[in-house]
Homo-oligomer: A and B are copies of this chain.
Amino acid sequence: MTLKIALAQTNFLVGNIAANVDNIIKAANHARDELGADIVVFPELTISGYPAEDLLLRADFIVEANNAVYQLAEQVTGIALVVGFPELDGDKLYNSAVVLHQGVRLACYRKQALPNYGVFDEQRYFTEGDQPGVFEFNGTFIGLTICEDVWKSGIIDATKQAGAELLLTINASPYNSGKIHQREAIISRQVKAAQIPLVYVNQIGGQDELIFDGASFVTDAQGDIVFRAEEFKEQISVIEFDGNKPLTNICVPLYNEIDSDYQALVLGIKDYVRKNSFQGAILGLSGGIDSALVLALAVDALGHDKVEAVLMPSRYTQDMSNEDAVLEAKALGVKYHIISIEPAVNAFTGMLAEVFAGTAKDTTEENIQARCRGVILMALSNKKGKLLLTTGNKSEMSVGYATLYGDMAGGFAPIKDVPKLLVYQLARFRNTLSWVIPERVITRPPSAELAPDQVDENSLPPYDILDPILERYVELDQSAEEIIAAGFRREDVVRAITLVDRNEYKRRQSPPGIRITSKAFGRDRRYPITSGYRGI
């Protein structure tokens, strides 16, 4: 008996239940009519979107999501649907997968493993299920699992013991660099141990900090991947099974990690702008590598006609910075403005002269320059309805090498989770597609250009030392002593860690940005501001 299963790798909007239901219906009709599918499988919490966060605490939202399941059951015929929804039962909420067919609920499975670590807060909202989910369809016994269920041991086995011959897994598995290899390896191993084929459907799209990368797949009972959908794209695919045996072997090859990171950043910008209804994006273009990369990402995400750049030179801006910024804007075909910040800086200097009389120059004067740029950029953003992109990277965010309300001003921070060394790699990668970033921008020493002859390395260890220290301290939670033992100089470790510890207050007010590492600043890393902990 053959069975055609469609994998609906969809990009839905969190919170918009009515639109999500419409899109489910369209996708189901397409899978039935164009692809001849018997079953169509959607990602985790399809109806609410994932993660809906505290919307899940609103009674009106939950009632609407539960009513939507009835509506779907009535409106889709001729194909079975597997959709995720926040299932209300009494005063308990479950993260559930329901199977609808010809107006009937064939099965409803409640997620058993609720992740509550990293970016996940599922135990804030949901009660754990305690039963495997198995249903019969066209003579095949099909098991249901949801995301974390198949990362933990035991649940696949229990589902098989309950009679399942084939597993459907619905997911909202967020991207980080290298995650796809980890995901496929762990799930293949579990499948192989249990000797049961598995259909894995992941959502795609950007949702605030998170990117979902798709790359849905099918494994046979030996854990070999026999189908893989594209990364970072919406796609509905159909796979034919003979009983529980997949009759296919079409795998889209995986991107390399740099390419994947680049795609993730482009998708993140595109979806944040689109889903929040901005008219486009603007950014400050300094002639440095960070803004050069963000400009390229923004244009690749939105198109050159939706992006504007602003050059805001001061007395400390070198000519080559302006020249290179203009080259970048021209290479990408974006409109640019040149607005010197000198009149505003002079005005503030005069206004503050009396209260600052007798004090020495310090970072205050540097911050005023950065904040004048922030005012200009926000004025343009407000007037034009375009999203202001900030251009700070993860190394800067880590050590606080940025000005609050200055270069940190903006609605979205695309490369906030990209360490400086990776910024260089991504810039070089982008230039291999087409030349958009002058070589000099990549090779000259980075500088904030807020004081005469300033370069980053006067204040910070060189990035090829700083970045690995930060990765160990921030992402891997290593102690100072462990990092020193790994071969780093004590003074560099002390400097880096002290700055990370002191700058939590800045990060708390930074705009959201795209998570591409295994631990981003944001919902991933929740540190107190008021803290006596010193990593060193």
Contacts and interface: CB of A to CB of B under 8 A. Distances in A.
Contacts of A53: 526-528
A502 to B, nearest CB: 10
Interface in A17-41: 17, 19-20
B509 A271 contact: no
A355 interface: yes
Contact of A49 (B59, B207, B363, B532): B532
B378 A527 contact: no
Contact of A54 (B351, B508, B527): B527
A352 B379 contact: yes
A137 B340 CA distance: 75
Nearest to A367: B382
B509 A511 contact: yes
B19 A528 contact: no
A510 interface: yes
A530 B275 contact: yes
A405 interface: yes
Interface in A470-529: 477, 479-482, 505, 508-512, 525-529
B375 A356 contact: no
A314 to B, nearest CB: 12
Interface stretch (A82-90, A157-165, A174-182, A341-349): A341-349
Nearest to A271: B530
Contacts of A531: 13-16, 55
A267 interface: no
Contacts of A382: 362-364, 367
Contacts of A380: 352, 355
Q: How large is the interface on A (under 10, 10 to 19, 20 to 34, 35 or more residues)?
A: 35 or more
B533 A16 contact: yes
Contact of A59 (B15, B362, B375, B477): B477
A376 B367 CA distance: 11
B276 A529 contact: yes
B15 A533 contact: yes
Interface stretch (A116-124, A240-248, A287-295): A116-124
Contacts of A367: 378-379, 382
A101 B347 CA distance: 66
Nearest to A206: B530
A525 B53 CA distance: 9
B528 A479 contact: no
Among A13, A15, A339, max chain B CB count under 10 A is at: A15
Contacts of A378: 367, 371, 404-405
A185 interface: no
B376 A351 contact: yes
A343 B349 CA distance: 10
Contacts of A356: 379, 383
Contact of A372 (B116, B272, B375): B375
Given A53-B527, A350-B343, A352-B379, A477 B123 contact: no
Contacts of A16: 531-533
A448 interface: no
Interface in A135-166: none
Given A16-B532, A54-B526, A532-B14, A348 B344 contact: yes
A272 B123 contact: no
A51 interface: yes
B355 A344 contact: no
A207 B405 contact: no
Nearest to A346: B347
B208 A528 contact: yes
A440 interface: no
Given A17-B532, A356-B379, A371-B371, 13 more contacts: A13-B531, A121-B121, A207-B530, A275-B530, A276-B529, A341-B351, A348-B379, A362-B382, A367-B378, A371-B375, A374-B405, A405-B409, A411-B505
